[in-house]
Structure 1
Amino acid sequence: MVEDPKRSAEFVEALAKGIAVIECFDAAHPDMTLSEIARRVGLSPAAARRSLITLSALGYVGSVGKRFFLKPKVMTLGSGFYFAARIDEILLPELRQIVETHGDAASIAMLDGHDVIYIAHHSTQRARRATAVVGARYPAHATSLGRVLLAGLPKTELERYFARVEPKALTSRTVTDKNALRALIDEAGERGYATTVDQLDYGITALAVPIRNAEGRVTAAVNSSGYSGLVSPEQMVTDRLGDLRVAAGRISAAAARTPALSAALNG
């Protein structure tokens, strides 16, 4: 965990370390030893041990032998946001409508650093591939949602993103060249939508449009995805772009009437 010299003097380092420990668990690392956790988070073994003892006492982490794992209580940390922002009431109906009309899957995500975080998802798909469950995070450069969100950043923030990011290939088709990626993001900004084919995982073709706040700033994005080979990006644009833009407009209007959702989408 890298320390930021710009942090407030009131920043609670111990709390940040505990959260980092929770966040280091994922599908590829469902259970780990103390030393593995310390390496992933960038902490000393002693600091990682203190965080694990605290999280275990609070019921968020369990252990078997020398291996630690997350417990179901961790899910309560995200449920507060989910219900306060009224995801079930406002966002999911829009996604269900998209899926009922076009099939496949639909998601809403927000930008968090170099990644997107999925805050709502509905799907009829059951394939074994990258899964857009609520709370999942993926590199922004490899998703239609991420490219739309990056296109909506102020110029200085986009420059900062490119100065710091090192795009990684997730498939043989993932665009990792920064110049090529910048061109695609600029194109998404000009067109008002982004398409991707086999960028995040093989078999995923997706189309995304921005969701804007009352001031016109891009705060989130909504997409529709299908199986590569069964649907082309051109077909998606023809068949789904209009419905996605209508859904994005309704979500923007609903957020303006719902303080908790508006605050959540505005970060």
Structure 2
Amino acid sequence: MIDRASENVEISAAKPGGSKSAKPEEFVEALAKGISILESFDAANPEMTLSEIARKVGYSPAAARRSLITLMALGYVGQTNKRFHLRPKIMTLSSGFYYSAQIDEVLQPNLRELVGKFGDASSVGTLDQRDVIYIAHYSVQRARRAAAVVGARYPACATSLGRVLLAGLSDAELDQYFDGLVIEPLTSKTMADPIQLRAEIERVREQGYSTTVDQLDYGITALAVPIRALDGRTIAALNTSGYSGMVDAEFLTANRLPELRATASRIANALTRYPMLLSIIGS
């Protein structure tokens, strides 16, 4: 028999731009460990030994081994000799989100239209603690650089999307974001001084858009604007980007800002007809 009371549970989540809140009473540590291991694989670490995984996620080798055995049995992780790697089944997790949220129907047509007008690339991102996560992307670019693919995660402070999202936080949330913040420079141009960054976020708040040049990676110049809910909250951000040297921040602002804002407004209006997607990115 289903316990109906258990269906009406509010679970505390990590606050945008800040650190994780206290763990709820029924938090499953074993599940969290397994997810941490899945998240530990990236472009720099496509395969790792047990000791490397344990060190990266901060667990004992025994705890990491138990999680890996479970993930292998479920088909999400494979092993070649003594090195572990993700298996294709992991893609079903992200594709489930992509299609259930109807991103292809709501966001992708707008990104394709922007890229059709301006070329280059366009993305939509949301804030997750101190990172921006790309939830939609379209591009005609072929250069080797930091990939803005769906699911990519980068420090919010180094992206135009992230700075727009940070500007949309309350003063208290922004204070939480900056509390203990240490910025690792990604290029020689990365704004690594928190005081300077705070001033830049305030400027983005005032002007309603953000531009970045070679902050995340060399060759990326980007312009971003907020996507706002009906109550005025910034729930996502939309950008357009091009190659540094071929376009600069002033060019993007002068030539693409009006259309970028109009597209953000169309997306915001479309979200009212897709409550599932609005709930996901607005939470």
- Given the two structures, how large is their TM-score scaled by the length of structure 1? 0.97
60, 72, 75: which one pairs with 2:76? 60
Using the TM superposition, give the Cα deviation of residue 77 of structure 1 relative to its aligned residue in structure 2, in angstroms: 0.7
Closer, same or farther in 2 for the Cα pair 1:30/1:212, shift >3 Å?
same
Structure-1 separation of matches of 2:79 and 2:127: 33
Using the TM superposition, give the Cα deviation of residue 22 of structure 1 relative to its aligned residue in structure 2, in angstroms: 0.1
Structure-1 separation of matches of 2:247 and 2:184: 25
59, 64, 74: which one pairs with 2:90? 74
Structure-2 separation of matches of 1:43 and 1:160: 27
Using the TM superposition, give the Cα deviation of residue 264 of structure 1 relative to its aligned residue in structure 2, in angstroms: 1.3
Structure-2 separation of matches of 1:82 and 1:187: 33
1:182 aligns with 2:176: no
One-letter amino acid matched to 2:277 = L
Structure-2 separation of matches of 1:159 and 1:109: 21
* Cross-structure match for 2:17: none
Deviations 1:99-149 (A, max 9, x none): 011110000000111110000000000000001000000010100000000
One-letter amino acid matched to 1:215 = D
One-letter amino acid matched to 2:216 = L
1:100 aligns with 2:116: yes
* Cross-structure match for 2:6: none
Using the TM superposition, give the Cα deviation of residue 215 of structure 1 relative to its aligned residue in structure 2, in angstroms: 1.1
* Cross-structure match for 2:105: 89
* Cross-structure match for 2:189: 173
* Cross-structure match for 1:30: 46
* Cross-structure match for 2:5: none
- Given the two structures, how large is their TM-score scaled by the length of structure 2? 0.92
* Cross-structure match for 1:127: 143
Stretches of structure 2 that go unaligned for 5 or more consecutive residues are: 1-19
Closer, same or farther in 2 for the Cα pair 1:94/1:5, shift >3 Å?
closer
1:258 aligns with 2:274: yes
One-letter amino acid matched to 1:165 = L
RMSD value over aligned CA atoms?
0.9
User: Secondary structure of the equivalent of 1:257?
Assistant: coil
1:223 aligns with 2:239: yes
1:10 aligns with 2:5: no
Structure-2 separation of matches of 1:176 and 1:44: 33
Structure-2 separation of matches of 1:86 and 1:230: 34
Using the TM superposition, give the Cα deviation of residue 52 of structure 1 relative to its aligned residue in structure 2, in angstroms: 0.1
User: Secondary structure of the equivalent of 1:106?
Assistant: strand
Report sequence identity in percent.
62
Using the TM superposition, give the Cα deviation of residue 5 of structure 1 relative to its aligned residue in structure 2, in angstroms: 8.1
User: Secondary structure of the equivalent of 2:107?
Assistant: helix
Any runs of at least 4 consecutive aligned residues in structure 1 with deviations exceeding 2 A, and if so which?
none
* Cross-structure match for 1:158: 174
Structure-2 separation of matches of 1:5 and 1:219: 20
* Cross-structure match for 1:204: 220
Structure-1 separation of matches of 2:199 and 2:277: 32
Structure-1 separation of matches of 2:156 and 2:21: 26
Using the TM superposition, give the Cα deviation of residue 164 of structure 1 relative to its aligned residue in structure 2, in angstroms: 2.9
**Paired residue total:** 264
One-letter amino acid matched to 1:216 = G
Structure-2 separation of matches of 1:85 and 1:5: 26
Structure-2 separation of matches of 1:71 and 1:146: 30
User: Secondary structure of the equivalent of 2:191?
Assistant: coil
